[in-house]
Structure formats: C-alpha cells, structure tokens
Amino acid sequence: MSLTATEAPPGRGLVPGSYALGMLMREMRNRTLDTSNFKPLPEDLGEPTLDEGYTEIRQQAWLNSLRLADHADYARWTLEQLDEVEQHRDRLRNWVTAAALSKRKNVRPKSLNGIAFGNVGSGKSTAIIAAGGYAAANGLLPRYLKHTHYLQWLRPNGAPKGYTEQQIRRVFAECDLLVLDELCGEMDNANDWVRKESGDLIDARVASGRPTLCATNLNDERIGEIMGSRFLSRLGGGASLFEMVGEDRRRPVQWGRKPEEQEPTWG
C-alpha cells in the first residue's frame, strides 16, 4: 500500500491527503499498517516530536551492539551512501520509516520483516547497517546481531562480559528493530538446539510485532533446509525482499594466475 496524497479511487478526482488518510484509518482499525510498498507522506519523514532526549540513547545502544559484534567501523555508513538501485537505498528508507510510523501509531506493520539477499560482497551488511543507523535517528531502538554470535552467546559461559544468557535473549527479542546479519552463515545444517533458539527469537519478535531486517547469502530453499520450514515461514511470511546485485564491492585481489588470466583489480 502506498500512502500518498496523489492517489484516489478510480473515477474520482484528487482530494489532497483525504484518501491517504482514509487508507491509514482503515489500516489502523485493523491494527496493521501495510509496509510492503510504503511511501511516506512528507510529515512522516520528520523527527518524532514527542521523542526529545531519547535519540542519543537509541544511537548509543545501536553503536554498542555494533561494537559487541566487532563491527563498529560500519557505523560510518549511511543510507545516502548506498546505491539507489543495487542496494535499494530509497526502499530501505521507506521500509524503516514505515516501521517507525507503526511504532508511533501503535499499530503492527503488515510487512513485518525485511530480507536482504545476494552474493558475497554485494553490500548486504552495509545496507542493513545503514538502515539501522537511520532507524536510530528516526524513533526506533535498533540493535545489530550476527546469527552465529547469538548462538555462541547463549551457550554456557558464552555470553559477553556483563550479560547473562537471559539478558541476551531479552535484549535482542525486545528491541524495536533487530538487524540480523549473516543469517545461517557458515551453516551446513542445524541441530535441534540451534533451530529452537533461532526460532524462539523470531517467534518472540513476530508475536510482539517487532520488525527484523536480516541479510543472507542463501535463498529461501536453503534456509528452509537448514532451519526448518517453521522458521522459514515465520521469518518470510509477507516479508519485504531486497535483492542486492552487482559485483563484489570488496574487490578482492587476485593471485596465483597465469599473466594472461590475471584481470585488473584496483584503479
């Protein structure tokens, strides 16, 4: 659904704002807000007026989660630096704005989750982290998490210093936006414990209407094979998809080839 003032029912003239407001009211009556193809109104793009004093707290929580994952250097990336087409800059901005608006209106996003997928080096991590930074500045408390780190931290004596296993579960289940990176990374299969803990995290977030934006190199079929159909259904049900395309942005150097096979790398 697109909430714009320029749309109107077939055969009717434009009534600025009224049709969009009617659509929003209908969604609110259903306690959902369709974020699958959301385009915000100008007033939706401003800073929340009743949120003064908390922006710095949210941003600090976001940075702390990046530091915990040894990804603090990624905090420099913003949505404005993303490629408009290959990394879905505008769609990600609209998706996060819709999630923030849903929180302010106390409604449940209809497109609860977002999935960024593509080949290694296509810019998935950069894109979802940039989206997380934008969320912190626009009314949401986001946290960054690698899938493998979460499982590691839940093992006996595996939690970072200052945390318990229960606190790890709560912190990432209850944040406004979970930016979940490297979903099923380096997994050929998953045992029952991995499936349960991963599934419980997504279940808790879905049940409470809290969105998750994840990144993965794998397609849905492979994730289903690793994590099971129930996990795939909960994560992918009605999700917004962001396919990252293009060459490896890390531009890895090449070595060990014959001179005629060597391709240009830098510059």
Q: Determine the Cα–Cα distance for residues 130 and 78; give it in Å rounded to an integer.
A: 5
- What is the pLDDT averaged over residues 207-220? 96
Q: Determine the Cα–Cα distance for residues 31 and 161; give it in Å rounded to an integer.
A: 40
Antiparallel, parallel or unpaired: β 142-146 and 108-109: unpaired
Question: What is the SS3 assignment for 205?
Answer: helix
26-61 pLDDT, tens per residue? Answer: 544 455 545 455 555 444 445 444 455 688 889 999
Q: Read off the pTM.
A: 0.76
- What is the pLDDT averaged over residues 154-158? 95
Given a contact cutoff of 8 angstroms between Cβ atoms, the answer to whether 142 and 178 are in contact is: yes
Q: Determine the Cα–Cα distance for residues 171 and 152; give it in Å rounded to an integer.
A: 15
Domain boundaries defined on the chain: 49-248
Fold classification of 49-248 (topology level): Rossmann fold (3.40.50)
DSSP code per residue over 75-117: GG--GGGS-TTTT-HHHHHHHHHHHHHHHHHT-EESS-EEEEE
Question: Which of 22-26, 29-33, 119-123 has the highest average model confidence (pLDDT)?
Answer: 119-123
Mean pLDDT over each residue of the chain, to the nearest integer: 81
- What is the pLDDT averaged over residues 136-145? 95
Lowest mean pLDDT among 85-94, 103-112, 138-147: 103-112
Confidence of residue 6 (pLDDT cuts 50, 70, 90): very low
The DSSP output letter for 31 is: T
What integer pLDDT is reported at residue 54 of this predicted model?
80
